[in-house]
Amino acid sequence: MPRLALKPDSSFFRKIALGAVGSRHVAQDLERLGHRIVELERGAMDTKLWKDVKRKRVRIPDLVCELCGLRVESRAKTKTELSMSHSLSAHERAWDFGMVDTDVVAFPVCKEDEEKQWSIGRLEEPISYWHERNWIQWRAQGKVNYVRVGRFRAEPQDNASTKGVTEGSETSISWKSRFSKRDGVVEAVSGQKITIARASDGHRHTQTVPSPMKIVVESGDKVALNQIIASRVRPEVDYDLRCSGVLTDDHLIQLLNSRERTQRFTGVKLARLRHRRSDSLPRAIGSLEGDQEEDMYIRLEAAAYLVAIQGMRAQDLFAPYLRSPDPQIQLEAVISLGEAGTHECVRMLSTILDDTERPYFARSAAAWSLSRVGGSEACRRLVQAFGDVDQNLREEALEGIVSLRSDAVPILLSGLQEMDPATAAGCAEALRQHRRLSADAIDTLRAQLTSGNPSAWAVWLAGHLPRERLAGAVANLQQTAPELHYAITVLWSFAESWIAQRWELQPDANIPDAGDAR
């Protein structure tokens, strides 16, 4: 691919974030119909990337219901349209690659409700510096439309266009549709005309729908903002999408025996999620794992099932993948260990995390996987990584342990007393990023502050928590420990000031030997 066709990091991350927000919204929306939605494609509801290793995964629908097996591809949009990325030359990049007719494509609309931008740049010879922050508040808007893959395949697309170079120079195909611009009620449908009365004030709006689109609502129907009212392809209604709650072993066997590899992948994953262990399933899944010609990611998913559900030794199954010379296989093997999630898997992930001879991407994936497994042992291993010599790995561990929320708090509070300053600093920052420390956690911090010999990082943390959470305890320090009282109040003054919103280290603070460059 020519270099100009590559997406800039900021543009690419924005697309990844939009996709994750959309997938999460679709999962929540389908819950009202009885589904229990989980990721089918790893990372569909997350923004985690490993830039060092290009992941050529099985292209597969984003989501699946673990109760009935419905597969859903989420195509988040910032405006109402039935469009999808497509490749006219690469079969594996076609819009419907890996999908079957019964799969559903979801189209959530997500708007940038609020965007805050901040940047600073300086030139201090010979060092130039640029730093940019961009916060976007995403908001799901209106109706999520769902269309079966089979309906799309039955109708030729209406338009095809090539995206700009910042979007990867991909082709976008679309099917003509009309969407409601309001919540309301359909008052009349006559020929190709439709009249909708707005719910808020009864205002009527009539529009003519050109052929070959067909009106897909009827008089008396309630419609929502962004709902399809006319289209070349008929959308699914709630009745057709309700979860049956039925997922038999026979159906799982059919998936495992399918010629379509994404179906086999789905069957293995659902068997693990549903903790199915009938006689036929382990044999079929074991056969997939042992098939040297099977897709590698299906084999890894099968290995995770055999470890998590059948109790087989992770070391025996995963060691060959972890020793692979292919970085992609190593990366996916580490992630699959996390999905298996047994105590043995946690120990293996911890060993990988501590192994300085392994490439960074593998250690990074181990930290991320430990955060997904959770539990006290995983928390302790992540805290230990705060003392690693690799700054990037420390940050990976920090990001991971912050995601664990309340599970990590007791270990982090204890870590404030660590002698290693890097470990104590990581614990303090993780607690600072915790959105809602419990009353018990605040009481523990108060006890540390009033112990007579609090750690410097306990003091720093107190000064970066909301003043009202510790005001009483800090006020009492004015008599017993005036210097400590003064230090915390100074930190509060800084944290509440306008300069804290823009503060950062000097441009050359993180450049090794920057002083020598002058």
Q: What are the domain boundaries of the chain?
A: 3-160, 248-312, 325-436, 437-501
Q: Can you tell me whether residue 106 is helix, strand or coil?
A: strand
| b/e per residue 251-279 (b: at least 16 CB within 10 A) | ebbebbeeeebbbbbbbbbbbbbbebeee
Confidence at residue 56, expressed as pLDDT on a 0 to 100 scale: 58
Q: How far apart are CA 74 and CA 39, in angstroms?
A: 11
pLDDT at res. 492: 95
Q: Evaluate whether 110 touches 78 at the Cβ level (below 8 Å).
A: yes
User: How many Cβ atoms from other residues are within 10 Å of residue 517's Cβ?
Assistant: 12
Fold annotation for 325-436: Leucine-rich Repeat Variant (1.25.10)
**pLDDT given for residue 117 in this prediction:** 79
- Give the bridge partners for 159, in sequence order: 174
The residues near 113 (Cβ < 8 Å, ≥ 6 apart) are: 137, 138, 139
DSSP class of 169? S
Mark the ranges of the chain whose per-residue pLDDT is less than 50: 1-6, 165-169, 514-515, 517-518
> What count of residues does the chain have?
518
| H or E element in which residue 360 lies | helix 360-373
Q: What is the pLDDT of residue 14?
A: 86
With the C-alpha atoms ordered 387, 390, 391, 395, is the resulting torsion angle positive or negative? negative
Mean pLDDT, rounded, of the chain: 89
CA-to-CA separations, 483 to 446, 454, 489, in angstroms, rounded: 16, 12, 10
Other Cβ atoms within 10 Å of 115 Cβ, number:
10
Instruction: Give the contacts of 357 (CB within 8 A, at least 6 positions apart).
Output: none
Distance (Å) of CA 365 to CA 6, 273, 408: 24, 21, 19
Report pLDDT for 512: 58
Order the strands of the 204-208 sheet from edge to edge.
204-208, 193-198, 184-190, 222-223
Give the chain's count of helices (H) and strands (E).
19, 17
Residue with tokens 């439709």: 194
Residue-level pLDDT at 276: 84
408 vs 415: CA distance, rounded Å:
10
Q: Over the range 52-90, which residues count as b (16 or more CB within 10 Å of their CB) and which as e?
A: ebeeeebbbbbbbbbbbbbbbbbbbbeebbbbbebeeee
